[in-house]
Structure 1
Amino acid sequence: MGELKWYVVRSVSGQEKKAKQYLETELGRHNLTEMVPQVLIPIEKVFEMRNGKKRVRERNLYPGYIIIHADLAHGEVDHIITSTPGVIGWVGSKDNKTATSKPAPLHISEVNRILGIVDEQEEQTASLETPFITGELVKVIDGAFSGFSGTVSEVFEERKKLNVIVKIFGRSTPMELSYTQVEKES
Structure 2
Amino acid sequence: MEKTKTNPEIVEESLVDDAEAVVEEENALTAEDQLQETTDDAEEEETSKAKWYVIHTYSGHENKVKVNIEKLVENRGMQDLIHEVVVPTEDRVEIKDGQRKIKTRKMFPGYVLVKMIVTNESWYLVRNTQGVTGFVGHGSEPVPLTDEEVRRMGIEKIFIKLDIAPGDSIKVINGPFESFMGVVEEVNFDKQTLKVRISMFGRDTPVELEFGQVDKI
CA distance in 1, matches of 2:84, 2:116: 7
Q: CA deviation at 1:49?
A: 3.9
Equivalences, count = 128
Q: TM-score by structure 2 length? A: 0.50
What percentage of aligned pairs have identical amino acids?
A: 26
Report if the CA contact (8 A) 1:42-1:118 is conserved.
Answer: no
CA distance in 2, matches of 1:114, 1:103: 18
Q: Which has the higher contact order (CA 8 A, sep 6+)?
A: 1
CA distance in 2, matches of 1:118, 1:51: 36
1:115 aligns with 2:154: yes
Q: TM-score by structure 1 length? A: 0.58
- Within a 5 Å distance, the mapping from 1:1-186 to structure 2 comes to 3-50=49-96, 54-73=100-119, 75-94=120-139, 101-115=140-154, 126-127=176-177, 157-158=180-181, 159-163=198-202, 176=203
Q: CA deviation at 1:177?
A: 6.8
Question: Helix, strand or coil: the match of 1:32?
Answer: coil
More helix by share: 2
Change (3 A) 1:116 1:32: closer
Change (3 A) 1:102 1:60: same
Structure 2 unmatched runs, 5+: 1-41, 159-173, 182-197, 206-217
The ranges of structure 1 where at least 4 consecutive aligned residues each deviate by more than 3 angstroms after the TM superposition are 49-55, 116-119, 124-128
Report if the CA contact (8 A) 2:56-2:112 is conserved.
Answer: yes
Q: Which residue of 1 aligns with 2:208?
A: none
Change (3 A) 1:5 1:117: closer
Question: Helix, strand or coil: the match of 2:125?
Answer: helix
How much is the aligned-residue C-alpha RMSD, in angstroms? 3.0
CA distance in 2, matches of 1:29, 1:80: 11
Report if the CA contact (8 A) 1:45-1:56 is conserved.
Answer: yes
Larger Rg: 2
CA distance in 1, matches of 2:110, 2:65: 10
CA distance in 1, matches of 2:155, 2:81: 23
Question: Helix, strand or coil: the match of 2:130?
Answer: coil
Q: Deviations over 1:70-105 (max 9, x none)?
A: 0112x22111101111111000002xxxxxx22112
